[in-house]
Structure 1
Amino acid sequence: MEKQLTALRSYDFLLEPEDLLEVAYEVGRDYTRWRTRLADPDGEGSWIQLFRSGGLGVWAIGWHRMPPGTGYLDHEQVRGAVYVARGALTHERARLGTAPHVTEVGAGKGFCFDETFYHRMHAVRDAGPTVTVHVFATAFPPPAGAGAGLACPALRLGLP
């Protein structure tokens, strides 16, 4: 995983959603190496930043004790991918003028999206603890000096 992420530091262009999904799969399949970093002493759900370079970031989110899900997220100017490393998510993609498209995404599966994506997610209760990997890319990297301390883009977009 680290070799692939280190190689991403040299990219100076916006990756396609499918490329981001490959990154999410690679990181997610390495779940046993980073899962202990998700431990939260307060027993609440948690998220951790696994990688950040320019406009590219990778986060892991533990849904097991988080609120039931997200509101609809507008990914304007952000491309991304989600991989389910453990458990399952219900994923609803909004569609103009019709009911949302709802799918269940189980462990070992994922999805990607472009800047026009509008969706929401929640952990499937009967699936046990759910852990996901989120990869985001933006054409607008963080301001100089902001460093790796930036919040997860998904948190700015509504993730609890």
Structure 2
Amino acid sequence: MSDQNRSRNSADILLVEDNPGDVRLTEEAFKEGQIANTLHVTTDGVEALDFLHQRGDHEDAPRPDIVLLDLNLPRKNGDEVLDEIRADPDLERLPVVILTSSKAQEDVVQSYENQANAYLTKPVDPSEFIDVVQSFQQFWLSVVRLPPRDES
């Protein structure tokens, strides 16, 4: 499939989230969407970087088209993960959307200073959470043209 049509037809999404309930709601929201995609889940910042660098258990991991990144993660927080992504020439163009429960203005500012592509706050209500994920899906996977994958 050509990269030009990929964003409309399918996408590999890396969800970096340690809360099993939020993972389940995100999976549910994507299943209800009309866009074919594969959702990969890592539960902490170290595992996310292993996935992105195709190390260890993630040796055969695909390069995701976009990352949904929580800020409050064990072992390595979302800010640190985003810093490492942006510092790596092989990953720096990868779109990263922060999806977190934090409404703190300093977290919003810090995320954009670290070159996040967007900042979404998770609603507490499960149906509103699903709406936010579906809005993300509709915009980022239907409207936005994503950069081509670097197939190395």
TM-score after normalising by structure 1: 0.26
Q: TM-score, normalised by structure 2?
A: 0.27
> Which of the two has greater helix per residue?
2
Q: Specify which structure has the higher proportion of strand.
A: 1
